[in-house]
């Protein structure tokens, strides 16, 4: 994996994603989570303080050992049980229909085969279950998209495979989710090419009439 990706990058991510300016977005995306939850791309556990009381347990999926280590204090102080339960969102080690909900924050940009990961999420949540997401991706404006296309090769090299041009909503709908809440905006304080965010809730098919 290399020293940079294994040891340095998770710390950079912890610092960059841990900016206080992201806290209101984390709070919003966690709103309404309840029951058994799977979080893909758990990172250093920056969402943990925002899990609502109605969450019973969280199964954390995260490949980085250093990320998990950096999460230790947050996990220890969590009001809900959090367990590292897998390493790869593309292959979730759970039976079908295990979870009430899933959460992904700034992770769909990085998972290599994101379509497979979304199919996996849909498989392990119950019919009608929800995926709460805030993700950066393809910007609404062509001028910003041009910058995203220019910057993407560098972004991928420096940030462990992070894409700038993934179209978040089409990825979710192509995977079979229905978008039930959505806010698209540029994140305050971030360059537009990296801060084109989509925040919302995607609902899995109920199975009825499907």
Ligand X SMILES: C[S@@+](CC[C@H](N)C(=O)[O-])C[C@H]1O[C@@H](n2cnc3c(N)ncnc32)[C@H](O)[C@@H]1O
Contact positions vs ligand X (CB under 6 A): 13, 17, 40-41, 43, 46, 61-64, 67, 88-90, 105-107, 110-111
Q: Which is nearer to ligand X, 18 or 127 (CB)?
A: 18
Residue nearest to ligand X (CB): 43
Helix, strand, or coil (residue 100): strand
d(CA 119, CA 89): 10
Q: Which is nearer to ligand X, 128 or 191 (CB)?
A: 191
Q: Which is nearer to ligand X, 106 or 193 (CB)?
A: 106
Smallest distance from ligand X to CB 206, Å: 26
The pairs formed by 177-185 with CB atoms below 8 angstroms and a separation of 24 or more are: 177/118, 177/122, 177/131, 177/202, 177/203, 177/204, 178/202, 178/203, 178/205, 179/203, 180/130, 184/140
d(CA 203, CA 155): 30
Smallest distance from ligand X to CB 4, Å: 13
Smallest distance from ligand X to CB 90, Å: 5
Q: Which is nearer to ligand X, 3 or 210 (CB)?
A: 3
Helix, strand, or coil (residue 77): helix
Look at residues 142, 148, 139, 147 and name the one whose alpha carbon lies nearest to residue 184: 139
Smallest distance from ligand X to CB 117, Å: 6
Q: Which is nearer to ligand X, 1 or 76 (CB)?
A: 1
Smallest distance from ligand X to CB 92, Å: 9
Smallest distance from ligand X to CB 58, Å: 12
d(CA 188, CA 136): 13
Whole-angstrom CA distances from 176 to 164, 166, 180 are 22, 17, 13
Q: Which is nearer to ligand X, 127 or 151 (CB)?
A: 151
d(CA 72, CA 202): 29
């Amino acid at each position: 994996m290399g020293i940079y990706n294994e040891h340095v990058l998770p710390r950079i991510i912890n610092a960059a994603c841990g900016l206080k300016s992201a806290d209101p977005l984390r709070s919003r995306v966690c709103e309404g989570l309840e029951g058994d939850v799977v979080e893909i791309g758990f990172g250093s556990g920056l969402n943990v303080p925002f899990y609502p009381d109605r969450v019973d347990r969280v199964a954390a999926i995260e490949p980085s050992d250093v990320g998990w280590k950096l999460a230790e204090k947050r996990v220890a102080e969590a009001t809900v049980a959090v367990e590292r339960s897998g390493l790869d969102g593309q292959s979730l080690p759970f039976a079908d229909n295990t979870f009430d909900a899933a959460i992904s924050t700034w992770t769909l940009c990085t998972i290599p085969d994101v379509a497979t990961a979304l199919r996996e999420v849909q498989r392990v949540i119950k019919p009608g279950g929800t995926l709460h997401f805030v993700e950066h991706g393809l910007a609404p404006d062509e001028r910003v998209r041009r910058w995203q296309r220019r910057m993407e090769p560098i972004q991928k090299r420096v940030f462990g495979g992070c894409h700038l041009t993934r179209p978040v909503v089409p990825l979710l709908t192509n995977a079979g989710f229905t978008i039930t809440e959505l806010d698209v905006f540029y994140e305050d304080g971030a360059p537009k090419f990296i801060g084109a965010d989509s925040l919302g809730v995607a609902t899995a098919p109920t199975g009825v009439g499907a």
